[in-house]
A and B are shown apart, each in its own frame.
Chain A
Amino acid sequence: MARLYEYQGKQLLKAAGLDIPEGAVAETPDQAREIAARLGRPVVVKAQVWTTGRFKAGGIRFAETPSEAEAAAAALLGHRVKGFLVKKVLVEEQLKLAGEFYAGIIIDPSYRVRAPVLMMTLAGGVEVESVEDERIARLTLDVLRGPAPDDLRALPRRLGAPDALVDPLARALESLWKAFCQNDARSAEINPLVLTTDNRIVAADCRMSIDDASVSRHPELGIRVARESDSPPTALDIAGWAIEENDHRGISFFAQLAADTRGGGFIGYHAIGGGGALLAADTLSRHGLKLANYAETSGNPTAAKVCRTARLVLSQPDLDGYILMGAVIASQDQWNHALGLMKACREMLTDRPGFPVVALIAGNKEREALRILREGLSTLPVRFELFGREYIHRLDDVAERMKALVEEYRAHRQTFGAPIRPVAPTGDVRWPFRTGTIVLRTAACEGCSSLACVKACSLYGGYLFRVRDKRMTLGIPLETVPRQCVECLACEHECHLRGKGALGLELPMDFPAI
């Protein structure tokens, strides 16, 4: 789930009617001093990082004066709290506490529940996991109707809250529920929810995460990568999410594991399907292979989506190999994986002699997929080995081969290369499809009688082209190409293998600078 920072979550609580401390976010010590001066009273300076236990780790500091606030911010900004780099601090008024509580909503996936559950305890300010069960009040929320006011009042009552507090606490719970719904949250917690000495109920902290699949409904939240993560996304992660964001055909997942791969010793890891992906990654690690990244494509993605993902996997500097681990007998048409990978390899590995490319690919259209890879990779200077379904439960054997190829490559390669980037094709005719463009060099195409592109397009279900005067031409209106093209990339592959290499596919994507 996409996490929010404390200051973001608090703004959402405020919009839902809950009191939050007065304050603002600072990115420099100067700003922190100004905020403290504007507030004109003692403040607390809080590091904005995705971790709990900030206070004990020194990530929360109290300041009586603006210059103390400046010093506190200087001590936090640019430093690490529990391993997390602090880029922002929240500067807020200090609250005078009369009581500390906890309120939170999480999803209970139990089949008996399958609903959000509201939890409250009056023993706040500590990890709620450590509070005994009988001191926590729970309410399963009816998502169709929402909670009745009486249900909400029953929670503080059950916990023995004084009468005067029951209504204010119930109102706070209602605001929390509102914020949870309005923002498509997966979880929302306030710890502590405080009672101040002047009898206000205030959210002194907030941890909220937004459902990944709903992030696109909330552009106002500015979430760059809608993915479960312990840390903010890297530039490569953001590029990975861009592949997925606007294309619902299949799933592409990318996570950068190694921050710096210069000097070599890392391989690119690309898996097919969620279930076998972790298992295969574990196997490779057990054999001493270091993963630069962790990518997955699954759910019948287009070859174009696979290609973009594979490019990202190959794009980290100084890699010593690439492995596609399809540790699954997949139902999806596996030629999409073969054609997507082939395009990425053609674009990026022509000047990497001996670069290890290992692929385990199994399932529907497995034979076709393996043939595509065998034929295509044979035209490149790489070292490749291919494995089919009989290796699904022999991952150790595949990992051993990968290890051997990587070691051979490391022993022989002379220099470390720059990060590899694909080069866009050139041509004089352009036929745009949904996520790219077919680019044709007419002069080269005119000397070709193979019709390989036409055959390929019909074989993989596109039917874009037809034959006129023994030559390939677009057989459908140009404006229907985006709808008709299945982005299998087969035309380019076949043109390069059997034609004149006149047809290229431009698949634009953003690569971060390294």
Chain B
Amino acid sequence: MAILINENTRILVQGITGREGAARSRFMSAYGTRVVGGVTPGRGGTKVGSLPVFNTVQEAIEANGPVDLSVTFVPGPLVKAAVIEAVDAGIPLLVMPVERVPLHDALNMLAYARERGVRILGPGSFGLISPGRAVAGWVGGSEDFAREVFRPGPIGLISRSGGQTTTLSWAIGQAGLGISTALHIGAEPVVGLAPAEILPLFEADPDTRAVALFGEIGTVAEEEAAETIAAGRFTKPLVAYIAGAGARPGMRFSHASAIVERGRGTAEHKIRALRAAGAIVVERPEALPLALAEILKGTTT
């Protein structure tokens, strides 16, 4: 099972001939992901490895069959056009590994996609992986490493940090558990798929028995996840860690979304909301795998 991506998901790579597009297409294919081709305007008819390259998304679908998911390896200032193209072609899920997308472009494409029922993971998302099945984006990086770090298992992972998606998955593996699907939602000021929307997907996934959440200061993502739990749309155990609680005032940080604005988005507020909804919040990230192991043993803390 897993969520959003598995071995049958047909994947297109937009920007496949670029530095990252080419390298990550090779990695995704090597991992067993069903990458069916790529798009780079003006490079149609060529190949990247054994993958056919098309000029447009529409052309790729007509010549090559339907696409379930597109990964956009297109530089931030140019990515809006690629997203609009993919949405118009009817691809239901877009993964955007690109950082530094102009904010108004991001707002526009998220609104455009939402009106047409298209989900976007990102922008600024490292991607998602269902271990042993498929991967989209650059999470995992290389086949050997991805297999070493991401073990299949019963834990769903939602992270606001790209690096911590991998780090926590590895730590969860060290604790003898594994991952059903791990996702990085992106670190840009506004992003698409939110933890509050991902939790119900894990609820419906029989492979997932509990979910780990790596949260951060800034935005209302954790508060809204707590609302989802309180509303009964997610009933499995959730264990969370919120980073940035110890951030000294004035300390700057590179995640654009991790900023406390107008007193909103403090770690204290997020921790209180999650605990009130019944989630477990741990004080240190390394405690997270242990808490999950404890829960799955049946002895809740």
Contacts and interface: CB of A to CB of B under 8 A. Distances in A.
Interface of A: 106-107, 109-112, 114-116, 129, 142-144, 181, 184, 186, 211-214, 216-217, 227-230, 248-249, 251, 253, 255, 272-279, 281-282, 285, 294, 296, 298-300, 327-333, 362-365, 389, 392-393, 486
B108 A111 contact: no
A364 B99 contact: no
B76 A275 contact: no
Contacts of B255: 274-275
Interface of B: 19-20, 75-77, 99-104, 107-108, 110-112, 114-115, 126, 138-142, 145-146, 149, 159-164, 166-167, 169-171, 187-194, 196-197, 214, 216, 219-221, 224, 243-244, 246-248, 250-259, 261-263, 284-286
A362 B286 CA distance: 16
Contacts of A285: 248
18 contacts: A109-B190, A109-B191, A186-B103, A186-B189, A211-B103, A213-B76, A214-B104, A227-B252, A228-B253, A229-B252, A274-B254, A275-B160, A275-B164, A275-B216, A298-B162, A299-B99, A329-B149, A329-B167
A392 B103 contact: no
Shortest beta-carbon contacts, A-B, top 4: A275-B161, A273-B163, A328-B163, A111-B194
Contact of A143 (B107, B140, B257): B107
Given A184-B102, A214-B103, A329-B166, A279 B141 contact: no
Given A106-B261, A109-B189, A213-B100, A275 B107 contact: no
Contacts, number: 189
A109 B4 CA distance: 22
B19 A298 contact: no
Given A248-B100, A364-B145, A365-B142, A298 B108 contact: no
A275 B162 contact: yes
Contact of A328 (B166, B193, B254): B166
B190 A107 contact: yes
Contacts of B244: 278
B75 to A, nearest CB: 5
B129 to A, nearest CB: 10
A160 to B, nearest CB: 25
Main secondary structure of the interface of B (DSSP, over half): loop
A296 B196 CA distance: 29
A213 B170 contact: no
Contacts of A330: 141, 163, 166
A228 B256 CA distance: 8
Contacts of A389: 170
Contacts of B112: 144
A442 B104 CA distance: 52
Nearest to B254: A253
Contacts of A181: 104
B214 A275 contact: yes
Given A253-B254, A330-B141, 8 more contacts: A110-B219, A111-B197, A212-B256, A274-B187, A275-B163, A275-B214, A275-B255, A328-B164
B259 A228 contact: yes
B163 A278 contact: no
Contacts of B163: 272-276, 298, 328-331, 363
B162 A278 contact: no
Given A111-B197, A213-B102, A332-B141, A278 B263 contact: no
A112 B115 CA distance: 13
Given A110-B220, A275-B163, A142 B246 contact: no
B285 A279 contact: yes
Most buried by B among A296, A362, A393: A393
A327 B166 CA distance: 11
Contacts of B166: 328-331, 363
Given A278-B247, A279-B243, A273 B110 contact: no
B67 to A, nearest CB: 24
Given A363-B166, A389-B170, A300 B263 contact: no
A300 B27 CA distance: 14
